[in-house]
Structure 1
Amino acid sequence: MQHWDRIEAFIEVVRAGTFVAAARRLKVSSSHVSRLVSQLENQLGTTLLYRTTRQIRLTEAGTLYYQHCHHLFDGFREAEAAVKDLQARPSGTLSLTCATTFGERFVAPLVNDFQGRYPQLGVRLHFTNRPVDLIDEGFDIAIRMGHLEDSSLIARRLCERREYVVGSPTYFTRMPQPHSLSELSRHRCLVGSRDHWRFAVEGVRREVRVAGPWEGNSGPALLDAALKGLGLAQLPDYYVDPHLTSGELVSVLDAYRHDDTAVWAVYPRHRHRSPKVHQFVDYLVTHIDGLLPLRR
């Protein structure tokens, strides 16, 4: 039968660098830690650590054993923390930032429902279309769209998000429908919060810079301009799906549509054990599909 306390003592000695420091972490005596490591070495029939009066270092066997064992205890501690967090009630203030329209339509109702379950929890919602630095600006969670750049954050996929290039039937009575990306330069492109549109060409992501006589950083205003025949717009599915179904808008360049533009909940790694963070993200994952329009 394996003695896990011996393995834990060995791992802590390696990480702490001395038996005294490991004993301090484990809240036992250094002699007890030394005895556990010696018992482990006897059990394995090999020396794991070279000991001197000033330092310790791993033997070849010790290095191999540590590489195979240290992640097991990390996993045990993660599991233990997860169970404790599951039983804990969210508290404090949940600070969240999200793009304006998506946040107002789909995220805010779920935040409000979640606070209804946990009235002791405070919430701070901040809707903006600019990039937000979570740590510097003090946010627990950000809802982000599309390709994620910051690998230092933990990300949970919430739902799919597809972008369509659309125009009204009125617009297409004046201009022919484009069938290639190069034709966009001959069209009136309505420019939203970015001046490039994203596509996929034979599975490879491609960005095309666009320009036109209309610019604005409001999704609803951009949609209204497209509906009134002012030009082409690239908009997410939750804006255009009802209008594509009704025929008020026509989707073009579907062969180049870039579909990998999911919606993500992201948060700093040091906050992943917070009950308010992981329970709310779980709540989002479970409930957000119920608020989104049916996918075409």
Structure 2
Amino acid sequence: MTPWDGVHEFVQVVEIGSFTRAAESLGVSKSFISKQVTDLENRLGVRLLQRTTRQVSLTPEGEVFYRNCREMVEAFERAQGLVSEMQEQPTGLLRIALNNTYGVEFMATAVAEFASTYDKLTVEVVTSLTDSDLVGDANDVTIRYGQQEDSSLYARQIGHQSFCLCATPAYFRKHGRPTNLAELKEHNCLTNRSGYWHFNSAGGTMKVKVNGTWKCDDGSGIVAAARCGLGLAQLPVVFVRRELRTGQLVALEEDWSFFDRDVWVVYGHKQNLSLKVQLLLNFLTQRFERAEQRPQRFTLPDTWQDLE
């Protein structure tokens, strides 16, 4: 039993003026209505209604209680209307977490395009160099990459983030181009502090230890070193699209040199998703088809969808 038990039935009786008709409107028995109201009166310790064979009227205490219950009913109806409106037109705050290791411009552009179509929606983009805690950081969704290990969360794959091996033309002229994985040991490899690169393999992903004189956990730092001709870098194709377009960097084009990492939208609940999250999932799924990115296909588009 809750403090709300009997309140709805009491309001119906008052507004309809009859236990019988109140029962009919709610689709329950008259005895059920009577018991609910009686139990409510017993909990409050007062009589709310005067009952006769011909009519039902409010006691002074009942009038005060009814006025306040009516206000609560109206507040509930307003809240219900707001929720219904939100399910027709997304409103409020949508908090999206992005991993900033390789910059956020590409993904943030897509999110901004989504937000531009809904003027009642406020979008807050949270960035960090590590994957954000979806629940602990109060995010609606987070964009993650690679294999997802947290089985308590739900995720939808929206595409791939393809990595290429690239360097300046001057570096390749001086050191040559590697033609297989084994030849990477002959090159100065610009990496994060782990010193590993990843590549596609028949079993999924292959982890390869490489060596070099430059290590940086921020992708921008690796790009800077690559542009200076310091060595060979493994970077997302979309992250270096300007450098590839202008010729500052040149990418290898052989299949072995690429790594295609899955991109996921992670969210906390599968059932009763808010409209704003549903719309974002659908938008990103359509925007980013699961196509691999290869430099030789470029006119260097700004969206994955063009890579067909």
TM-score category, normalised to shorter length: 0.5 to 0.7
Gaps of 5+ in 1: 1-26, 30-83
User: Given the two structures, how large is their TM-score scaled by the length of structure 2?
Assistant: 0.59
Aligned partners of 2:159, 2:28: CA distance in 1, in Å?
A: 48
Q: Within 2, Cα distance between the matches of 1:189 and 1:151?
A: 35
Structure 1 residues 230 and 121, CA, compared in 2 at 3 Å: closer, same or farther? same
Between the aligned residues of both structures, percent identity stands at: 32
More helix by share: 1
| Greater than 4 Å deviation, 4+ residue runs | 84-87, 288-291
Change (3 A) 1:169 1:161: same
| CA shift for structure 1 position 28 | 8.2
Structure of higher RCO (CA pairs closer than 8 Å, 6+ residues apart):
1
Q: Does the C-alpha gap of structure 1 residues 104 and 250 become closer, same or farther in structure 2, counting only changes over 3 Å? A: closer
Instruction: Give the structure 1 partner of residue 164 of structure 2.
Output: 164
Q: Secondary structure at the match of 1:138?
A: coil
1:196 corresponding residue in structure 2 = 196
CA RMSD, 1 decimal: 3.3
Alpha-carbon shift at residue 232 of structure 1 (Å): 0.7
Q: Contact 1:272 / 1:278 at 8 angstroms: preserved in 2?
A: no
Matching residue of 1:51: none
Structure 2 distance, partners of 1:212, 1:100, is: 23
How far is the alpha carbon of 1:241 from its aligned partner?
4.0
Q: Structure 1 28/234 Cα, relative in aligned 2: closer, same or farther at 3 Å?
A: farther
Alignment match, 1:123:
123
SS at match of 1:148: coil
* Counterpart code for 2:256: Y
Q: Deviations over 1:135-194 (max 9, x none)?
A: 122111111223323333222232332111112221123323222323323321111375
Partner of 2:65: none
The secondary structure found in structure 2 opposite 1:134 is coil
- Quick one: distance in 2 between partners of 1:163 and 1:110? 19
Bigger shift: residues 214-223 or 134-143: 214-223
Contact 2:106 2:238 in 1 (8 A): no
C-alpha distance 213-158 of structure 1, shift in aligned 2 (>3 A): same
Counterpart residue type for residue 184 of structure 1: L
The TM-score with structure 1 as length reference comes to 0.61
Structure 1 pair 207–222 and aligned structure 2 pair: CA distance change class (3 A): same
> Would you say how many aligned residue pairs link Structure 1 and Structure 2?
216
Extract unaligned runs of 5+ from structure 2. 1-26, 30-83, 290-300
Post-superposition Cα deviations, 1:17-47, rounded to whole Å, max 9, x if no partner, equal xxxxxxxxxx989xxxxxxxxxxxxxxxxxx
- Which whole-Å CA distance do the structure 1 matches of 2:107 and 2:138 have between them? 19
Greater C-alpha radius of gyration: 2
Looking at structure 2, the residues matched to 163 and 265 of structure 1 have their Cα atoms a distance apart, in angstroms, of 19
Where 2:198 maps in the other structure, the secondary structure is: strand
Name the counterpart of 2:179. Answer: 179
Per-residue CA deviations over 1:215-244 (Å, capped at 9, x if unaligned) read 223323322321221001000110234544
Amino acid at match of 1:292: T
Q: Give the Å deviation of 1:247.
A: 4.1
